[in-house]
Chain A
Amino acid sequence: MTEEIVIIGGGTGGTVAANRLVETLETEVDAGEVTVTIVTDDPDHVYKPTFLYVPFGKKEPEDARRPLVDLVNRRVDIVYDRVTAIDTDAKSLDLRDGASMDYDYLVVGTGAIPDPENTPGLGADQDGHYFYDGEAAATLREELASFDEGHLVLSVIGTPHVCPAAPVEFTMMVDSWLEKRGVREDVEITYTYPINRLHGVKPVAEWMVPRFEERDINTETFFNVESVDSDAGVINTLEGKEFEYDLLVAIPEFKPASLIAEAGLGDDWMEVNKHTLESDHAEDVWGIGDITNIPTSKAGSVAHYASGVVVDRIASEIRGQTPTAHFEGDTVCFIEAGMDEGTYIKFDYENAPVVRDENKFIHWAKLAYNESYWLTARGLI
């Protein structure tokens, strides 16, 4: 009998999981005892951290894309379709083209979707730029190119949001970029955050304070955006503030695919055991990456490390062994501290990060990793 492993999503988690599954289970796959299939509606794999560089003219949106077929082992099957329903009792998926497919083991890696429309006043044809997709990042590039005076506000609206470092990085990069353009003194920069410090990860918040002061970046905390008035250029907060801006970069709220709630896999994010990554609500179903509710960052590194745990656990199940692999919340994030310096953080469920002073070497390391990321997607590094 053939065991069918199906992965929904061709992002970091899904792609790494697929490549590692066929490598770990090479014998079984070659014998026709196991199949590994990715179902995705995007023929490209997208490396989203590239988009952070687009507003500054350092990357193009297409730099973030490569055909998925070029990144996965030839033993992996790819179905280009969209999963419209998951039946965890019957262990089957409905696809948009009308077909259905069965699974024995299911891995869900559908990611987090930017949801600016959930904040009144944000969304299409209104203010609130962001850089979480190529088109939005390219639009922001054009706005920035002609912005040489006024008040630029970077407001973190959504938490959890994808890539916890990105708002910090953007703020420090735009400061440095405007300085290099010779217009920094004509632009006021303000960074806002929902809770009573500058970042959810406390050591990062502490690292930010003196650096933002040195750079003359204003900060506002306990700043929860209730609505944005694009005509007036005003943000209204839950705390009763009215805050004016000329250019608003808004880190939006994010949402899971509606598939999750409809399949009973979680009311909001997919609910999984934070160590085994198994669904709280269905057997033989795992979640990896941004779609899950695990208490750490929504970051590519988490999806990368988590996929290794899921692969080991599924391989153990298939071989009749007791799975022992555990996810400990491993997270690694680079943090750009301007256009030519950076640092990084590494932490897990139990251990907070230590944030070291930024330097040029880590900045170069980040740029180098961004190029070598495609080897990570292939399951190599």
Chain B
Amino acid sequence: MADIEADVTVDARGSACPGPLMDLIGKIKSVDSGTVVELLTGDEGSKNDVPEWVEEAGHELLDTVDEGEYYSIYVKKS
């Protein structure tokens, strides 16, 4: 997928489980519909937990990028 422009970035690297997902949820709560949020997470569990929640909550998962030391997960608020 082409590079995605995030409107806001949540840096949850170093945040232990369930930190990254909760950090993302907190940000999604506070932004407007249509906002693209980039979550930076070093937690392997986020690869599954985040997409599962995004689907449950009805938002859109744009991409998950493996950056080596961490993942960038892009979510668009519905």
Q: Interface of A with B (CB < 8 Å)?
A: 159-160, 194-196, 200, 202, 222, 224, 226, 238-240, 274, 295-296, 349
Contacts and interface: CB of A to CB of B under 8 A. Distances in A.
B53 A222 contact: yes
Nearest to B53: A222
A200 B17 contact: yes
B16 A295 contact: yes
Interface of B: 14-19, 21-22, 25, 28-29, 49, 52-53, 56-58
A222 B56 contact: yes
Contact of A239 (B15, B22, B57): B57
A200 B29 contact: no
24 contacts: A159-B22, A194-B21, A194-B22, A194-B25, A195-B22, A195-B53, A196-B49, A200-B17, A200-B22, A202-B17, A222-B52, A222-B56, A222-B57, A224-B29, A238-B28, A238-B29, A238-B57, A239-B56, A240-B57, A295-B14, A295-B15, A295-B19, A296-B16, A349-B16
Contacts, number: 45
A contacts with B: majority SS: loop
B15 to A, nearest CB: 6
B29 A226 contact: yes
A222 B14 CA distance: 23
Contacts of A160: 19, 22
A6 B56 CA distance: 48
Contact of A195 (B21, B28, B29): B21
Nearest to B29: A238
Contacts of B18: 159, 194-195, 200
Contacts of B53: 195-196, 222
Contacts of A349: 16
